[in-house]
C-alpha cells in the first residue's frame, strides 16, 4: 500500500473525531455561559483584591493572618490578586472567549442588519403579537402614500411585488445590534489593556532566571544587576522617594516579600514640597515642584505635580502619591528615668540609627519619623486623681488615655516617632511631643509607647513645674525611686506627721516603718505593687481604707522629698496648698507610669531642622489608552442597546385582496411597542383611505 493511501485511511479514521472535539471545544469557549463563568470568577477575585489591601510588605500580612493562614494566602496569590498567574490566565481566556464569540456572531449579526426579510409570508405575519387588517385603497398611489408616511416616521422602506401579492417592508433601529458588537469589543479591549499593564513580562524574566527579588534593606548603589530592570521595561508601577534638594532616577517595585529596582529614562529632582492644612491640621493640599531631566538628551522640564494632577514624561506618568520625612535633623535631650543613667544632649536624623546610653541602658535609637503638626484627641481619663489604687492602676500609662467617645481635637505641635531596640533585638515604639500640652489645668510633657504596631499607643504624662520645666518632676522621681533616700524620706514624713497630728512620739517608729515599706513597694512596680500587696495581705473589708492610707503616705513622702530638695537648693519651705497637692499627685502617678514606660530615659525634642520628601508613583501603562477606548466603546454599546430599538413594520396585500394586513415586531417587548403600533395603524388607515391625498395629512 502506498504512503498516500495510508495517509488517506488514517485521516478518514481520525478526522471525524477530531472535528467533533474541535467543534465542541469551539462551541464551549465561544459560548455565553463560558464567558459569564469567567466574568463571575473575575468578579469574585476583584472583591478579594478590594477587601484585602494589595502589595503590602509581607510582614504586615504575617502579623495580620498569623503563621497558618499567611502561607496559604500567599500560595493563592491573594496579596497581589491582579498580578496573580491564575487571574491573568482567566483574563486571557476571557479575551479569547469574547473574541471567538465576536468572530462567531459577527457574520450572522451583519447579515441580520442588512436583511429586509422580504420573503415573509402572510401566515407568519398573522402570528405577530401586533397585527391588524386595514381597509383602504390598494392601488399604486396608495402604496406610495404608505411608503412616504413610513419614511417620514424614520423608517427605511422597500416595496416588493411578488406573484402572490405586494409587501411593503419598513425597518428602523438596525444599529441596535451594533451595541452588542461594541460591548463585546469593549470587553476584549479592557481585558487586553489589563494584560498589557500587568506584570507578565516581569514574571517571564523571573521564570527564566534573569531577575531575582531583593530581600532586606540595601543602599541603591549596592543593588545587584539581577534585581534591576532596564528603562525599556514594557510596563511597571513603582514608587519614587525624593527628599527636598535631592534627585532620584530609579523606582522601587514591591514584589511579593521583596523589591526590584526599576531604572527610569530620566532623573527627578525635588526643588520644594508644599503642604497646606485645614484648620483641624489635616492635609488640604500638597504639591511638589520638580525638575525632570532626560538622561539621554539632558532636556529639563520644570513642573508642579499635585494629587490628581500628574505629569507624563517619555511615556511614564508621575503621580503625587504621598509625602514623608526626608531626613530631618533633630536636637534631642536624654533625661534619666532610672538610677545610674546620665543625661546628655545629642543630635539624630530621621531614618538613621545610632547607639545611645551605656551599660544596661544601652539602646539602638531608630528615628522613624517627624511630624511638625499633630492634631490629637486630648480628652483624658484623669486616673491621677483616682480615689483608690484599683482605679489608679487600672491601666498603666492610663493617665493620658482618652475615654471612648470623648473628643478634644487640637494641634499639639511637632512630634517625632522612634524605636528603642535593646541588645536582644526587642524594640518598643515611641511617639513623643515636643511642646507641653495643657490638661486638667496643668501643663504636661506627653510621650506614647507601644510594644508592637498592632497595639494602640499608651501615653505617659509628666507634669511641668511652675517654670515650665521637667526638672522638678525628674528630681522628685529620682528621689522616691532611690533606695538610698528611702529612710531619710520616711523619717521626715514621720516627723511632719507627728507635728501636724500632735501624736505621741512613741508611734514614730511605726510611722517610719510604714513609710519605708510603702516607698519600697512603690519602687518595685509603682502603684501596681502597692495594690498587689493590699490584695494579698489585707482582708477584703479593710482594703479600701488601707488603700487610702497608703496613698496618703505616698503623697506625704513625695511632699517631703520635694521639701528636702528645696532645702538642698537653699530655697524656702513651701506651704501645702491645693495647687501643690495636685502637683504631688501628678508626680506620684507619672513616677509610677515611668516604671512601665519600657525605657530607662525620656528623649525630649528641643529643636529640629525639617527636611520634607515626596513619594511619587511612576507608571508606564501601555494598556491605559486601550482601556480608555474600551470604556468609550462600552458606553456607546450600552447606549445603543438601551436607546436604539429595532422595529420592523410590514404591509401586505394579497393578489385581488381589498384590504391590507399590517404587522409590527420589535427586538424588545414593551408597552411602547403597542402604542407605536396603534399610532401607525391609525395613521396608515387614514393614509390608505385617502390614496389621492398627501401622505400624513
Which residues make Cβ contacts (< 8 Å) with residue 272, sequence separation at least 6? 244, 288, 289
Which cell numbers hold the place of 229? 530592570
Element (H, E) at 267: strand 258-277
Phi, psi of 191 (to 5 degrees): -65, -40
In this predicted structure, what is the pLDDT of residue 400? 44
Phi, psi of 593 (to 5 degrees): -70, -30
Give the residue among 323, 359, 390 at the shortest CA–CA distance from 611. Answer: 323
In total, the chain counts a number of residues equal to 697
Average pLDDT over residues 671-691: 87
Give one DSSP letter per residue of 553-620, joined into a string: HHHHHHHHHHHHHHHHTT-------HHHHHHHHHHHHHHHHHTTSSSSEEEEEEEEE--EEEEEEEEE
In this predicted structure, what is the pLDDT of residue 682? 92
Percent of the chain with pLDDT over 90: 50
Which cell numbers hold the place of 459? 501615653
Residue 10: band (very low, low, confident or very high) from pLDDT cuts 50, 70, 90: very low
Give the residue among 356, 376, 354 at the shortest CA–CA distance from 366. Answer: 354
Give the residue among 341, 324, 325 at the shortest CA–CA distance from 333. Answer: 341
Cα(7)–Cα(11) distance, integer angstroms: 6
DSSP 387: S
In this predicted structure, what is the pLDDT of residue 385? 38
In this predicted structure, what is the pLDDT of residue 6? 45
In this predicted structure, what is the pLDDT of residue 498? 85
pLDDT digits (tens, 9 = 90+) for 646-661: 999 999 999 888 889 9
pLDDT digits (tens, 9 = 90+) for 85-137: 888 889 889 999 999 988 888 888 888 888 888 889 999 999 999 999 988 77
Give the residue among 283, 275, 298, 369 at the shortest CA–CA distance from 330. Answer: 369
Residue 200, pLDDT above cutoff 50: yes
Cα(112)–Cα(116) distance, integer angstroms: 8
Residue 440, pLDDT above cutoff 60: yes
Which residues make Cβ contacts (< 8 Å) with residue 586, sequence separation at least 6? 384, 442, 444, 461, 463
Are 661 and 168 in contact, with CB atoms under 8 Å apart?
no
Considering 91-95, 346-350, 688-692, the range whose residues carry the highest mean pLDDT is 346-350
Are 275 and 610 in contact, with CB atoms under 8 Å apart?
no
Cα(70)–Cα(212) distance, integer angstroms: 22
In this predicted structure, what is the pLDDT of residue 79? 87
In this predicted structure, what is the pLDDT of residue 61? 86
Q: What torsion do the CA atoms of 400, 404, 405, 406 make, to the nearest 10 degrees?
A: -20
Residue 213: band (very low, low, confident or very high) from pLDDT cuts 50, 70, 90: confident
In this predicted structure, what is the pLDDT of residue 418? 96
Which residues make Cβ contacts (< 8 Å) with residue 232, sequence separation at least 6? none
At CA 150, angle to CA 148 and CA 152, rounded to 5? 70
Residue 165, pLDDT above cutoff 80: yes
Which cell numbers hold the place of 331? 536636637
Higher pLDDT, residue 109 or 637: 637
In this predicted structure, what is the pLDDT of residue 1? 43
The model's pTM is 0.68
pLDDT digits (tens, 9 = 90+) for 224-236: 888 888 888 888 8
In this predicted structure, what is the pLDDT of residue 435? 93
Task: Give the other-Cβ count within 10 Å of 117's Cβ.
Answer: 13
| Mean pLDDT computed over every residue of the chain | 86
pLDDT digits (tens, 9 = 90+) for 15-56: 566 667 778 888 888 888 888 899 899 889 889 888 888 877
Percent of the chain with pLDDT over 70: 90
In this predicted structure, what is the pLDDT of residue 616? 96
In this predicted structure, what is the pLDDT of residue 209? 67
Task: Give the other-Cβ count within 10 Å of 279's Cβ.
Answer: 8
Which cell numbers hold the place of 658? 381589498
pLDDT digits (tens, 9 = 90+) for 242-289: 999 999 999 998 887 788 899 999 999 999 999 887 776 677 888 999
pLDDT digits (tens, 9 = 90+) for 531-570: 999 999 889 899 999 899 999 999 999 999 999 999 999 9
What residues does 415 pair with on adjacent strands? 371, 433
What residues does 291 pair with on adjacent strands? 269, 302
- For residue 270, how many C-alpha atoms fall within 13 Å in the half-sphere facing its CB? 26
Question: What's the distance, CA 414 to chain centroid?
Answer: 26
Amino acid at each position: 500500500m502506498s504512503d498516500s493511501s495510508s495517509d488517506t485511511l488514517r485521516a478518514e479514521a481520525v478526522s471525524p473525531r477530531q472535528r467533533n472535539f474541535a467543534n465542541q471545544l469551539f462551541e464551549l469557549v465561544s459560548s455565553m455561559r463560558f464567558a459569564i463563568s469567567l466574568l463571575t470568577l473575575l468578579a469574585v477575585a476583584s472583591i478579594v483584591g478590594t477587601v484585602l489591601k494589595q502589595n503590602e510588605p509581607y510582614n504586615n500580612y504575617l502579623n495580620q493572618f498569623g503563621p497558618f493562614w499567611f502561607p496559604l494566602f500567599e500560595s493563592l496569590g491573594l496579596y497581589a490578586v491582579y498580578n496573580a498567574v491564575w487571574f491573568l490566565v482567566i483574563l486571557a481566556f476571557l479575551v479569547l472567549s469574547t473574541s471567538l464569540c465576536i468572530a462567531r456572531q459577527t457574520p450572522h449579526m451583519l447579515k441580520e442588519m442588512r436583511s429586509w426579510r422580504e420573503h415573509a409570508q402572510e401566515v407568519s405575519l398573522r402570528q405577530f403579537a401586533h397585527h391588524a387588517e386595514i381597509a383602504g385603497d390598494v392601488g399604486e398611489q396608495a402604496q406610495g402614500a404608505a411608503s412616504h408616511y413610513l419614511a417620514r416616521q424614520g423608517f427605511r422602506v422597500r416595496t416588493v411585488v411578488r406573484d402572490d401579492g405586494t409587501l411593503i417592508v419598513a425597518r428602523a433601529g438596525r444599529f441596535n445590534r451594533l451595541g452588542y458588537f461594541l460591548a463585546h469589543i469593549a470587553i476584549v479591549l479592557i481585558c487586553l489593556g489589563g494584560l498589557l499593564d500587568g506584570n507578565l513580562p516581569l514574571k517571564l524574566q523571573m521564570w527564566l532566571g534573569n531577575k531575582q527579588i531583593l530581600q532586606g534593606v540595601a543602599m541603591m548603589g549596592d543593588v545587584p544587576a539581577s534585581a534591576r530592570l532596564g528603562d525599556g521595561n514594557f510596563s511597571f508601577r513603582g514608587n519614587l522617594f525624593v527628599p527636598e534638594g535631592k534627585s532620584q532616577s530609579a523606582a522601587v517595585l514591591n514584589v511579593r516579600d521583596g523589591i526590584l529596582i526599576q531604572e527610569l529614562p530620566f532623573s527627578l529632582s525635588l526643588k520644594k514640597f508644599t503642604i497646606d492644612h485645614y484648620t483641624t491640621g489635616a492635609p488640604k493640599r500638597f504639591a511638589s515642584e520638580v525638575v525632570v531631566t532626560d538622561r539621554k538628551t539632558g532636556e529639563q522640564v520644570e513642573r508642579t505635580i499635585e494629587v490628581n494632577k500628574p505629569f507624563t514624561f517619555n511615556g511614564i506618568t508621575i503621580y503625587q502619591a504621598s509625602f514623608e520625612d526626608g531626613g530631618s535633623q533633630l536636637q534631642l535631650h536624654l533625661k534619666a528615668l532610672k538610677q545610674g543613667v546620665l543625661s546628655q544632649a545629642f543630635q539624630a536624623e530621621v531614618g538613621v540609627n545610632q547607639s545611645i546610653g551605656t551599660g544596661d541602658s544601652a539602646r539602638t535609637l531608630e528615628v522613624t519619623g517627624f511630624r511638625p503638626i499633630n492634631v490629637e484627641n486630648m480628652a483624658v481619663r484623669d486616673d491621677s486623681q483616682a480615689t483608690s489604687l484599683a482605679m489608679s492602676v487600672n491601666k498603666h500609662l492610663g493617665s493620658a488615655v482618652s475615654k471612648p467617645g470623648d473628643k478634644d481635637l487640637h494641634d499639639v505641635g511637632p512630634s517625632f516617632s522612634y524605636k528603642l531596640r535593646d541588645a536582644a533585638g526587642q524594640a518598643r515604639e515611641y511617639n513623643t511631643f515636643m511642646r507641653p500640652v495643657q490638661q486638667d489645668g496643668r501643663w504636661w510633657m506627653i510621650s506614647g509607647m507601644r510594644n508592637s504596631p498592632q497595639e494602640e499607643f499608651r501615653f505617659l504624662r509628666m507634669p511641668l513645674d511652675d517654670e515650665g520645666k521637667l526638672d522638678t518632676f525628674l528630681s522628685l522621681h529620682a528621689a522616691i525611686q532611690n533606695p538610698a533616700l528611702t529612710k531619710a524620706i520616711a523619717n521626715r514624713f514621720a516627723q511632719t506627721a507627728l507635728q501636724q497630728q500632735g501624736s505621741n512620739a512613741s508611734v514614730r517608729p511605726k510611722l517610719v516603718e510604714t513609710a519605708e515599706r510603702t516607698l519600697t513597694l512603690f519602687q518595685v512596680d509603682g502603684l501596681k505593687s502597692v495594690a498587689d500587696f493590699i490584695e494579698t495581705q489585707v482582708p477584703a473589708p479593710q482594703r479600701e481604707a488601707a488603700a487610702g492610707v497608703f496613698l496618703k503616705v505616698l503623697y506625704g513622702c513625695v511632699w517631703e522629698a520635694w521639701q528636702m530638695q528645696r532645702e538642698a537648693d537653699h530655697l524656702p519651705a513651701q506651704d501645702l496648698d491645693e495647687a501643690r497637692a495636685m502637683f504631688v499627685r501628678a508626680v506620684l502617678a507619672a513616677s509610677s507610669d515611668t516604671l512601665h514606660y519600657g525605657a530607662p530615659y525620656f528623649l525630649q525634642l528641643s529643636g529640629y531642622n525639617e527636611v520634607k520628601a515626596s513619594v511619587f508613583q511612576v507608571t508606564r501603562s501601555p494598556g491605559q489608552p486601550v482601556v480608555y477606548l474600551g470604556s468609550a466603546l462600552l458606553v456607546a454599546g450600552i447606549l445603543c442597546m438601551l436607546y436604539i430599538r429595532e422595529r420592523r413594520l410590514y404591509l401586505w396585500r394579497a393578489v385581488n385582496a381589498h384590504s391590507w394586513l399590517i404587522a409590527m415586531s420589535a427586538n424588545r417587548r414593551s408597552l411602547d411597542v403597542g402604542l407605536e403600533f396603534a399610532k401607525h395603524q391609525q395613521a396608515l388607515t387614514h393614509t390608505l383611505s385617502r390614496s389621492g391625498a398627501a401622505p400624513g395629512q
